[in-house]
Amino acid sequence: MTTTLATLARWVDDVARLTRPDAIHWCDGSDAEARSLEAAMRESGDLIALNPDSHPGCHLHRSHPSDVARVEHLTFVCTTDADDAGPNNHWMAPADAHAKIDALFDGCMQGRTLYVVPYCMGPIDSPLSRCGVEISDSPYVVANMRLMTRMGAAALARIEREGTFVRGLHSTGELDPARRFIMHFPEELTIKSFGSGYGGNALLGKKCHALRIASHQARQEGWLAEHMLIVGIRNPAGVTRYIAAAFPSACGKTNLAMLIPPKAYRDAGWEVFTIGDDICWMQPGADGRLYAINPEAGYFGVAPGTSAKTNPNALAMLDRNAIFTNVGLTADGQPWWDGLPGVPAFDWQGRPYDPANGPAAHANARFTVSARQCPSWSPEAENPHGVPIDAIVFGGRRESLVPLVFEARDWTHGVLVGAGMASETTAAATGAVGVVRRDPMAMKPFCGYNFAEYFAHWLSFDRPGAKLPKIFHVNWFRKGDDGAFLWPGFGDNMRVLEWILARCAGTAGADRTPIGAVPRAQDLNLDGLALPPAALDVLLEVDADGWREEMHAVGAYLASFGARVPQRLLDEAARVAGALGTAAAPA
């Protein structure tokens, strides 16, 4: 397989001259190709076959111990003007960045095969989808891209028809942390990644293309590329509505995407469908509504914390045709992490398991699997027109202050809620508890341009004829004086989603407060939930004093992005602050 597109053929030739591989392989995405690559990786030790009886078609990959996570401090957005990248990104001048990383690519594929990986982000025939080509010397990357994207001949055919694509060049190099960079060139629709084999740094269709480059494309073309799950909820009347939701890490994003409602809801006829668990592309339709696709075809999820209790749908899809990275291993060849039955025999580095060396599975151990294997997967994930979004939900981990749920006053207020969203850090992650870290729309590590202009882009969708989703904020993590969570979470989050959709339909009540509409106890379906009234009071309270401080902090955060912050957003922050009975937020 090769290509009829001259620009693609010329680029592959140029890269081959620079990297000097022993062979070039154009990936067609076929089953035969996948089996051949897997066999070669088993022989080289890059993959370990798992128990064929319990986990048929599954493999384990072990990363180099220095290469187990995204490297945000080595991730750059390279625009001509530094202000276009913004203070939310590390910046390097494009010419300097190309020179620095091309010097590392020089001759790096000698003794290796150069793989050309054409892929489509989104359904292959969707006008909302966008295509790319990743060149990599890692067969592990090829295997993962096959699961995570629509990869191969059909994608190449679309690229040849359209004549445009995002260019991604990747090499594992020597896996030397001192020679590791992930460079993004939004103005050139180009990504260059060197020195890492970890998914977030090496699977260039994922965060690099689908968020950092796509957010730039979306701004130019009038759509949104967001770090959001997409979930469908069918009520007992048979009507399905869709919600897009953004959460920072450790806030239950995948669990919400694959939610199983409480038994009483299931018995009444409620169903939940998964469209996507991580990335959402939204575009206005002819009717003024926002329509969303999940650009990914698979899940690249965190394994630790996934169990029959926390996410049975996720666990159910991991018993076949999956790739596990940096998990532990039982004596009979099954993957293992905390929360699973059994006992680990080997840790993620292949050593005999010893608790003195730490957990058997790395904290960022991953699974890669086709989305179609999820029991709650919906065929609407392949709808080329996308699904209509009724509500956008933001959320964070806040032990105090933020109510269980509230509804923004309008689109401008909703953008402010998203721009100011935050989570409190945990001791396990940072060594300090309760430090509020702002993460606008959960896009802090992923927005490919200046946040100030990103906020303006969001505001631009509020125009005549638009029928925009209502915007909400949730907080599953409110704690009581005893330090215990007040809300049960998991499947019971369905009770909050029901209120959200009822608000969209105009059938649920609420109290109007300065921060937005907050449900009263009688507005939530709490049947069968043993929740003390005092706990519910705390979950739904709005502390004016605390919110005055919060809005001051949000205003100061917005002001940190300088003169490009839209005045409309600053005015909205001042309006909310004023409604709370305080002076205007910083301008």
503 labeled binding residue: no
249 labeled binding residue: yes
206 labeled binding residue: no
Contacts of 32 (CB under 8 A, 6+ apart): none
Handedness of CA 275, 279, 280, 281 (dihedral sign): negative
- Burial category of 286 from C-beta neighbours within 10 Å (exposed 0-12, middle 13-18, buried 19 and up): exposed
525 labeled binding residue: no
* 92 residue type, one letter: M
89 labeled binding residue: no
346 labeled binding residue: no
Both tokens assigned to 548: 């005055």
409 labeled binding residue: no
207 labeled binding residue: yes
58 labeled binding residue: no
386 labeled binding residue: no
308 labeled binding residue: no
- Burial category of 140 from C-beta neighbours within 10 Å (exposed 0-12, middle 13-18, buried 19 and up): buried
Neighbouring CB atoms inside 10 A of 560's CB total: 14
252 labeled binding residue: yes
**Pairing state between β 75-77 and 90-91:** parallel
* Residue 146, helix vs strand vs coil: helix
347 labeled binding residue: no
383 labeled binding residue: no
Contact criterion met (CB below 8 Å) for 273 and 377: yes
Three-state secondary structure of 408-433? CCCHHHHHHHHHCCEEECCHHHHCCC
End-to-end CA distance of the chain: 57
Q: Which residue in the list 251, 280, 374, 447 is annotated as catalytic?
A: 251
251 labeled binding residue: yes
Whether 251 is catalytic: yes
Nearest alpha-carbon partner for 140 in 12, 276, 48:
48
273 labeled binding residue: no
Please state, in angstroms and as integers, the Cα–Cα distance from residue 530 to each residue in 95, 486, 525, 533, following that order.
Answer: 61, 11, 12, 9
The binding site consists of: 70, 198-200, 207, 227, 249-255, 278, 364-366, 397, 490-493
The binding site for Mn(2+) consists of: 207, 227, 278
The binding site for substrate consists of: 70, 198-200, 249, 364-366
By annotation, the residues acting in catalysis are 251
